[in-house]
Amino acid sequence: MNGAEAARPVLGLTTYLQQAQTGVWDVHASFLPAVYFDGVTRAGGIATLLPPQPVTDAIAEQVVGGLDGLVFTGGPDIDPATYGQARHPATDEPAHERDAWEFALLRAALADNLPVLGICRGAQLLNVALGGTLHQHLPDLVGHTRHQVGNAVFSTSGIRTVPGTRVAAVVGESTDAQCYHHQAIATLGRGLIASAHDADGVIEAVEVDPHGQGPQFCVAVQWHPEERLDDLRLFSAVVAAARARRGRRVPAR
């Protein structure tokens, strides 16, 4: 292995676990759209998939110990019982195994200061894990369905970042974002700051305060950067943070 290959960081990506069809098969399966791991590999990382499975904190710590970074991907709604609410009629049926797996991975990642990028569900997961709450159905709040028009069609939202945040440093003052979410962050979790909003005032990005005691790179966006692989800035940022961490862990030869 040459030096450049040895320096490539390994990033874990969470996956779906649900019924899926391929050819003649219709099976319960773990899978992830290729655009997610394409984003990681195009940005210079090595992608490895982390399917939901029976978990303990010790298992999560062992998994995280073998990674340089972690990407929490999009997917179904988080069980509202985890943030003390009854389920809204528009909220997905709970995916208990995926929720438990990802909460455990996130606890281990935060404890180990592992670089983290959350995407859509990943942003909501981070917020809930740190004691925050969610708006379960945005149309009830904003009066329209433009955040999630349905039928797998992503809508484009104008996003403005908060000056001085890590998200602003990565994507600039504003950006056009591909959105597909009917839920959003309500009360912020402990140690999180809002780092971007859309025109409705909906929180579109959060991050662990880089000036606090938490990880130096823990960023989560409500939009889908994997849908715009001509713009790798968020993937490049988490890969760069993971590479720096790997450099501190792997002795030079």
Phi, psi for 6 (deg, rounded to 5): -65, -25
Is 120 catalytic? The answer is: yes
State the Cα–Cα distance between residues 35 and 150, nearest whole angstrom: 19
Is 218 catalytic? The answer is: no
Give the active site residue among 120, 181, 182, 218.
120
Please give, one letter per residue, the 3-state secondary structure of 178-225.
EECCCCEECCCCCCEEEEEEECCCCEEEEEECCCCCCCCCEEEECCCH
Report the run of H or E that residue 133 belongs to, with start and end. none
Residues 6+ apart with CB under 8 A from 180: 74, 120, 147, 148, 152, 153, 154, 155, 224
Give the active site residue among 147, 218, 224, 227.
224
Give the active site residue among 102, 204, 207, 226.
226
Phi, psi for 216 (deg, rounded to 5): -80, -15
Cβ 220 vs Cβ 206: under 8 Å? yes
Is 204 catalytic? The answer is: no
The angle, 0 to 180 degrees and rounded to 10, between the axes of the packed helices 121-129 and 96-111 is 70
Active-site residues, by number, are 120, 224, 226
